Amino acid sequence: MTLAEVEATARAAHEGQTDKAGRPYAEHLRAVAEGVRARGGDDDQIAAAWLHDAVEDDARSAHWLEGAALSRRTKDIVRAVTKRAGEAPEAYARRILDTPGALLVKRADLAHNADPARLARLDDEATRTRLTEKYARMRALLGLEGD
């Protein structure tokens, strides 16, 4: 798949979904893909950024991912950044760190998720606090504290 096809697939997979602030979910996907590009990511990483939540959010199945016309590296990165039910944050972070190219995608994802302007759009202070702490913990586990 070309990057344009990956983008179209990701947008279609998340069609109608919104983030916690009610914004179209595709805005998050675009921000993460652009964050990967701005940080020097390659096409495999940019493709994975577009698809980083597709399996986790059940927008696409793991079976779909396996059969998709994507590079093995892109698939490995998507699998690495896909959280698993009941998985400890330490195990999740270890998988990301152990998968070549995945850290950059997760770094861009965390940067957008933890953006103070984005978090400020949330109505609930408790949710803002919980998410801020969650993202800070994951950055620490990944060695991205100063990021």
DSSP type of residue 59: S
The pLDDT assigned to 39 comes to 97
Chain segment 112-132, per-residue pLDDT in tens? 999 988 888 888 899 899 999
The pLDDT assigned to 124 comes to 86
* Spatial separation of the C-alpha atoms in residues 119 and 122, rounded to whole Å: 6
Is residue 119 packed enough to be buried (19+ CB in 10 Å), middle (13-18) or exposed (0-12)? middle
The pLDDT assigned to 139 comes to 96
* Spatial separation of the C-alpha atoms in residues 7 and 125, rounded to whole Å: 33
Q: Which residues of the chain have pLDDT under 70?
A: 147
What pTM, to 2 d.p., does this model score? 0.93
Q: Is 32 helix (H, G, I), strand (E, B) or coil?
A: helix
The pLDDT assigned to 9 comes to 95
Cβ neighbours, 10 Å, residue 116: 8
